[in-house]
Amino acid sequence: MGKRLSKIYTRTGDDGSTGLGDGSRTQKDSERVAAYGTTDELNSVVGMLLAQGVPDDVAAVLNEVQHHLFDLGGELCIPGFQCLQQMHVDWLERMLDRFNEALPALEDFILPGGSQAAATCHLARTVCRRAERHVVTLQRDEAIPPHSLTYLNRLSDLLFVLARVISRADGGSEVLWQKERPPIDPDVS
């Protein structure tokens, strides 16, 4: 593969616009840029999670997810381009089933937390949901590839399950929401 970037700055975005993958230009605050920018942010959070050390089987899945997210960013950056297919969604569902099978059934809501890696996985889940919301907004006005939204929806579910897996692997426990917790003592500062 040849060199992609010979110069990092171009000055073409100094007016608040950015180039899309098809050569057209749009404003940096457009919904399309928000959708692929948030997808890139999600990929960065997944990278942070991998840097914290996770079980090998989780790392293998997250490495593949990072490649899918890069492909998804390309889809969103290039109007009319499609990379993700139904097989990518099917793969997420198989991973969800595989990892969820070993977990105990949920009886309470889980608060984001546990170990640092589990908390980072929850952060990735919430960034994934934000990316999904941007894609929903984008599709109101522009065509998007057919599997983009479904992929993000399944991925957020997988990240929730992986946060649970990571909590157990780290020897920690999930932080459960306590509906019937005692009220806050106003005298405690």
Q: Mind listing the domains of the chain with CATH numbers?
A: 28-99+109-174 (1.20.1200.10)
Q: Which residue, among 144, 127, 6, has the nearest Cα to 75 in the 3D structure?
A: 144
pLDDT at 157 over 90: yes
| Buried/exposed code over 59-76 (b: 16+ C-beta within 10 A; e: otherwise) | eebbeebbebbebbbbbb
User: Span 164-169, mean pLDDT?
Assistant: 89
Which pTM does this prediction carry?
A: 0.84
pLDDT at 87 over 80: yes
pLDDT at 6: 62
Is the pLDDT higher at 9 or at 22?
22
Q: Which two tokens stand for residue 59?
A: 């790392």
pLDDT band at 56 (very low <50, low <70, confident <90, very high): very high
Q: Please provide the average confidence, as pLDDT, over all residues in the chain.
A: 85
Burial class, 113, CB count within 10 angstroms (exposed 0-12 / middle 13-18 / buried 19+): middle
pLDDT at 183 over 90: no
